[in-house]
A and B are shown apart, each in its own frame.
Chain A
């Protein structure tokens, strides 16, 4: 099956805009490589989770997928067609089909507009409808995101709503034009744990009803597992490991993935885990380490890791990891190399 959305050899370099004067003064910041040769495919009706810590390039990848930003290199394909340089009316159509949900629900809606007005905005942009049709659709969508009574919510202002409610409305706005793909950038990370599950369940229900595909960005592997069919783990701009969700969680072949897994507390039986002490905090994007970009923090790092970039190793069909010792890690976990 052709993927609905495909990112091919994506690369994004930000010139940090060092001015002439700054350079004269001996201060020049290196260019930041936010996304470095990323390849991802999203199957229709499925969810691909993009997992990584802040600064790993998840959000940039998402913004490129919605064409809010154009990549420095590589291409974006939608339904098999290249859309990287889309402009004008075609771009507008694309935006109707590929929508986005953002992290911060508290800024998601224009504070001066009612919820109803905000929800009507995408409709006004894309569909020729009568005001009555539009209103009916707005109310129906509010019902769909479990915000009854819909009429009351449509008339309220964002300032009077809670984070969970606001994020449901943001989801409603993204889905109201019936898009094929939704990029969801950490949609629950600013919500309380007790509110998160409701929003996640809602997104899953809507996917079942509408067949929409999600590119779901998160830093929490447990959330990724709950939401996705496939997971891609990113670190400093590059994909470290990719595979079907359950396989990746059970047989992770990359030490970084293993660390992420071990960082999720076992929330059901209290008990103590042995935590692995990391050697350092994350490197900055300005200076990507040589060889394997994870080597300064990797508990399994060997001399070869500092000099040679690891190959992408196929561990099983559709499951690959970029580590010199991927098969061993997939088999024995973090005990692999020390033994």
Chain B
């Protein structure tokens, strides 16, 4: 069970996790060992009543002269029996019924989930109370009543797990290859779905301990057992005389329940480590003052990037996602950035806008937008405590994100979001002006103004992407970065939107960076193409040049991997499916997959070769490949 072990390691790797696990284990040991420990009889009455804590009676004695310490220890037993008993009962029943409801769906599911909902709405403590009041107070009855009210909770979790699991491809595939429902449930569904229910088990146990204590406190506890709740119940009346009678069991209960809850929390985080550090506000980074020698607004290239490097910290590892990237984009120009997923395209885009996640560090780089430096030496430029990029965002540089699905705020109408953005930057603009601008932008991209009132979820994928485009145009930026704007869309819509972006760019004189994994998508929209591989730009050239004389083997593979509709059917080029990307530092990164790799490639990192003005490639043999027509290189 490698997974179990990994989970355990995840739990003990945090202080609260390790501590709570230790406490729970200790409680278990103590509860099991209670009869063999050298303890005073927890129920034997003595003459030493109301004794304050002392060496003889660590936690003092109660109104009958019983030893409180011994009673607390024996109480652990009761607490754990109730906790484990009701949690196990609840989980077993809940998991089975939840799995049935989720797996078979339909009427069975409808009826059962209604039932779960009912239990969600019933104040369960009162139901437990009623049951115990009617059927008599005893430990088994308490456990039974608790399980009776909590199994729907386990069932709900199992059901939603199963619902998501059963559409998983591997479950579908097992069914399609002839496995029976029973085989699939036993082999794939339950083992993969049980984890969250077990995590919840820790919380259930805590809840059970509290419920039992609450019942005992109301006088509905088992008369024959030493439970913490009963001790507090009895201690309440002696609060002034012997406060220790109620302090000790309460602390014990607090410690156990808190440990159970913390353990559940730690288990949850161990299963989903990214949950702990996700989100958050952007952290402050060390800034630099603006350099003296910058062209200033309206001068020079619209975007200049020099030696930009960005790395992510993941645990103790460092992933260099962007590695010494340099390029510039002329005013009104368009650049396509192409590469496979994970090569660092999106990281590059977010680095330009400085919207990188908190675990990202700029290692180096200078970026200037419209003649104004926003990043120098890997430090954001700030003046009088204000980041310079802030003043340029959306008015000079705007972006269209990869997933239009989530890129718009779901709780505001499209118009509201357009208007807000406009008024944020155009201080003093009235709401009516902003509305008019929003309408004008919608006219511009050819979407009826009536769609302005829609919420994002009411729009189709293509429309949502157009709304995002409208948002990006609100403040007439000079530069737009579009990160895979059409990747999730159907062919026809994809083509339409690319066409619309291209048309807008020409009409408005925008500069554009279009990020894609598809050479085809950028071929018609961009004047230049830069090919990225493993964080570096390995080739860049005007579009027609890169298609006619690709000089880096990776570029060639990208182009020759595309099927098309014209010309003879020829075999497509393909790259081997290698796993190991890690090569020695001084090597060509592409060498493990390159069909032309030599020993030189595996030991010396290739230089940037300039083939002609504006055409660079990072390959030892670029000059040899460049003159060869494309087809000849395909094996």
Residue numbers of A with Cβ under 8 A of B are: 19, 53-54, 66, 68, 91-92, 95-96, 99-100, 102-105, 107-112, 118, 121-122, 125-126, 146-147, 160-162, 164-165, 168, 170, 173-174, 177, 192-198, 200-201, 219-223, 225-226, 249, 259-273, 275, 277-278, 281-282
Contact = CB atoms under 8 A, between A and B. Distances in A.
B176 A193 contact: no
B175 A68 contact: yes
A197 B172 contact: no
B564 A194 contact: no
13 contacts: A96-B177, A100-B172, A105-B169, A107-B168, A193-B561, A195-B575, A197-B561, A198-B576, A226-B572, A268-B562, A268-B566, A269-B544, A270-B543
B275 interface: no
B558 A193 contact: yes
B523 A267 contact: yes
Contacts of B547: 268-270
Given A146-B577, A161-B579, A118 B170 contact: yes
Interface in B470-498: 490-496
Chain B contact-residue range equals: 35 or more
B176 A95 contact: yes
Nearest to A225: B565
Contacts of B524: 265-266, 270-273
A100 B177 CA distance: 8
B170 A107 contact: yes
Contacts of A66: 176
B272 to A, nearest CB: 14
B177 A173 contact: yes
B462 A110 contact: no
B428 interface: no
B265 interface: no
A80 B341 CA distance: 45
Contact of B169 (A108, A221, A273): A108
B517 interface: yes
A95 B178 CA distance: 5
B470 to A, nearest CB: 16
A95 B177 contact: yes
Contacts of B572: 197, 200-201, 226
Interface string B541-557: 00110010000000001
A139 to B, nearest CB: 17
Which of B3, B462, B579 is the most central at the interface, judged by chain A CB atoms within 10 Å of its CB? B579
B356 interface: no
A187 B311 CA distance: 33
Interface of B: 3, 110, 168-170, 172-179, 183, 187-188, 191-192, 340-341, 446, 460, 462-463, 490-496, 499, 502, 517-521, 523-524, 543-544, 547, 557-567, 569, 571-577, 579
B178 to A, nearest CB: 4
A268 to B, nearest CB: 6
A219 to B, nearest CB: 5
A14 B50 CA distance: 74
A225 B574 CA distance: 17
A107 B3 contact: no
Given A266-B564, A267-B520, A53 B492 contact: yes
Given A53-B491, A268-B562, A270-B523, 13 more contacts: A53-B493, A68-B172, A95-B178, A96-B177, A102-B172, A125-B177, A125-B179, A193-B558, A194-B517, A201-B574, A267-B519, A270-B544, A278-B496
A165 B581 CA distance: 14
Given A165-B579, A226-B572, A249 B565 contact: yes
B377 to A, nearest CB: 34
Given A102-B172, A192-B340, A266 B579 contact: no
Contacts of B562: 193, 197, 222, 267-268
B571 A201 contact: yes
B466 to A, nearest CB: 10
B261 to A, nearest CB: 27
Given A263-B494, A275-B499, A121 B574 contact: no
B170 A109 contact: yes
Contacts of B517: 192-194
A161 B597 CA distance: 24
Contact of B564 (A53, A109, A147, A264): A264
A296 to B, nearest CB: 14
Contacts of A107: 168-170
Which 10 A/B pairs are nearest by Cβ-Cβ distance? Answer: A198-B574, A95-B178, A263-B495, A197-B572, A197-B561, A53-B490, A226-B563, A275-B499, A267-B520, A192-B340
Contacts of A194: 340, 517, 557-558, 561, 575
Contacts of A165: 577, 579
A278 to B, nearest CB: 6
A92 B180 CA distance: 9
A236 B501 CA distance: 28
B383 to A, nearest CB: 41
A102 B174 CA distance: 12
B113 to A, nearest CB: 12
A121 B492 contact: no
